[in-house]
Structure 1
Amino acid sequence: MENRIMINGMQVSEQLASFVNQQALPGTGISSERFWAGFSELLHDLGPKNRNFLAIREDMQKQIDDWHIARRGQAHDAVAYQAFLHDIGYLLPEGADFAIQTTNVDPEIASIAGPQLVVPIMNARFALNAANARWGSLYDALYGTDALGDLPAGKGYDPERGARVIAWGRAFLDDAVPLAKGSHSNHDGYRVEAGALVPALKNPAQFAGYRGDAGSPTAILLKNNGLHIIIEINSDVEIGANDKAHVADIRLESALSTIMDCEDSVAAVDAEDKVLAYSNWLGLMKG
C-alpha cells in the first residue's frame, strides 16, 4: 500500500509529492508551498462540482439502462428514444449558429495537413520516437520496407537496392518540387545564387532555405503543400560520395504533432503510473 502524507488538507501519495517537489517544480520559479496551496484550493473548489457532475452522469446512465431494459425484445424506436434523451437532459436543444476564432492557432493544427501520432506516454521509447517523428528519412523508409515492391535481402548494404532508392527519391523530387528545366537526377549539384536555388525550380517559391555555404550548401530546404523537404548533401558518407550531386539523403517533414496519451492507450490510475507518465512528459519538455 502506498504511503500518503498530508499536504494542505489533502492526502497525497508520498511518491507523487516527491516527484513534484524534487523534479517537476525546480526551475519553474514556483515553490512547493505555493504549488500545493494553489492545488489544494483548486481541488476543494472543483472537487465537489466534479462529484456532482459524476452523480448526474450516473443518474442519466441508470435512466438510459432502465429505458432499454423496459423495452427488451422490442424493435428500436429511434424517434421515441431521441425524445427520451431530450426529456432527461442528455440531449439539449440545438443552439444558434456560431463561428470559432482560429487566430494564433499553430499552423500544425490550423493550416498544414499531415499525420498526428497517438502514443502511450508511459512508454518512454514510444514517446521519444513519436516526438522525433517530425522528420523522417525517405531513403531509410524506402530501403528498409517493401515500398519498392520487395524487402531488402541480406544484412549488408545492397548497392543495387540503394540505386533504386535514389532513383525513386529523384522521381519524388521531380514530382513534388520540379525544376524549371530537366530532372533532379540530371544535375551534378545544388547551390544558391542571389537567394534562389540553382538549378532553378519551376516554382521558385518552393525554395525555403539552405544550410552551410551558398556555393556549396550542406542542405537544401524546399516545401510543397506546406510540408518541408530537406535534401541532405554530404560527400563524406558512402551514399553521398557515390552520388554525382553528393545527395546523402532526402528528409521529409512527417508527423506534425503527437498526442501523448495518458488515458486511452494506457491507464495511468495510481501514483506510480502518474509519476511515470509525468516523468516522461517532463523529460520531453526539457529535452
Structure 2
Amino acid sequence: MNIQTEQLDQSIYNFIKQVMPMTQVNGNNALAPQMEQQDGLTYAKQILDQYFPLSQGSHQDVCSYVIYYKQLLAFFADGSQSGLAQPRQFVALSGHKCEPSSLVLKNNGFHIEIALDRRGEQGRHDLAGINDVQVEAALMTIVDNEQSPCLRTWTSLVTGQADQHCKEFTSKDGTEYRL
C-alpha cells in the first residue's frame, strides 16, 4: 500500500471515528433524546468548518450559499462572501445555482450533502436555511456496494438517522453525479 493510500484510509477512518459516535449514541443510529436537533445542526456546521472550511468565516455565520462560475460562495449578513478554502471540494448540487436545494462536498473519499430548505423543519430556523447535513458513510458504502453499486448509506449529522439510497445531483460541470 502506498503512502497516499494510507493517508486517505487514515483520513476516512478519522472522519468516521469522529462522526459515528455522535450519530450512534443510542446504538440505533438516533441521537440521544437530550440531544436536540438544533445542537445537531451546530455540530454539523462544526464538521463543515473542520473538513470543508471557508477561506474566511464560518459555516455557522452563513446566510446563503450560491454557485458562481462553478464555485461555491457563502454569503454573510454583512454582505461579504467567501468561497471554500479548497474550492475543488465542491462537486455537485441539486436545484438552481442561484438557489440550490442541496450541495455536495467531497473530501478524501467521503461526501457530505448540505440540504437547503428554508421551509423545512430545521431550515426555517437556520440563518442559511440548512435543513440537514448528511454524510455518506464511506466504510459502510464499500461493503454495501457489493450488493448494489449505487446504493449508499447516508447518515444525518443533525438527527443521527441513517438510511440507504441512491442520490442524483448535477456536477459543477453540468453532468450527472450519482451517489
1:178 corresponding residue in structure 2:
53
- Is 1:256 the counterpart of 2:141 in the alignment? yes
CA contact (8 A) 1:219 1:230 kept: yes
Deviation at 1:250, TM superposition (A): 0.7
Matches within 5 A, 1:31-110: none
CA contact (8 A) 1:143 1:162 kept: no
Using the size of structure 1 for normalisation, the TM-score is 0.38
2:44 to 164, 169, 180: 169
CA–CA separation in structure 1 for the residues paired with 2:88 and 2:63: 22
CA–CA separation in structure 2 for the residues paired with 1:256 and 1:248: 23
CA–CA separation in structure 2 for the residues paired with 1:202 and 1:185: 15
CA–CA separation in structure 2 for the residues paired with 1:260 and 1:233: 27
Runs ≥4 in structure 1, deviation > 4 angstroms?
A: 141-144
Matches within 5 A, 1:248-287: 248-254=131-137, 255-258=140-143
CA–CA separation in structure 1 for the residues paired with 2:129 and 2:144: 37
Give the direction of change, closer, same or farther, for the CA distance of 1:239–1:258 in structure 2 (3 Å limit).
Answer: same
2:94 corresponding residue in structure 1:
211
CA–CA separation in structure 1 for the residues paired with 2:97 and 2:144: 38
**Amino acid in the other structure paired with 2:60:** S
CA contact (8 A) 2:100 2:116 kept: yes
CA–CA separation in structure 2 for the residues paired with 1:144 and 1:233: 24
CA–CA separation in structure 2 for the residues paired with 1:142 and 1:236: 26
User: Which ranges in structure 2 are unaligned for 5 or more consecutive residues?
Assistant: 1-6, 14-18, 75-82, 152-179
1:145 corresponding residue in structure 2:
25
CA–CA separation in structure 2 for the residues paired with 1:143 and 1:203: 26
Q: CA RMSD in A?
A: 3.5
Deviations 1:76-124 (A, max 9, x none): xxxxxxxxxxxxxxxxxxxxxxxxxxxxxxxxxxx96458xxxxxxxxx
Give the direction of change, closer, same or farther, for the CA distance of 1:142–1:240 in structure 2 (3 Å limit).
Answer: farther
CA–CA separation in structure 1 for the residues paired with 2:131 and 2:59: 14
Deviations 1:199-225 (A, max 9, x none): 200111111111110000001111111
CA–CA separation in structure 1 for the residues paired with 2:58 and 2:86: 14
Q: Which of 1 and 2 has greater Rg?
A: 1
Quote the sequence identity (%): 24
Matches within 5 A, 1:220-235: 220-235=103-118
The aligned length equals: 126
CA contact (8 A) 1:112 1:226 kept: yes
Give the direction of change, closer, same or farther, for the CA distance of 1:260–1:196 in structure 2 (3 Å limit).
Answer: closer
Give the direction of change, closer, same or farther, for the CA distance of 1:151–1:196 in structure 2 (3 Å limit).
Answer: same
CA–CA separation in structure 2 for the residues paired with 1:259 and 1:240: 30
Greater share of helix residues, 1 or 2? 1
Deviation at 1:256, TM superposition (A): 2.3
Other structure's SS at 2:119 match: coil
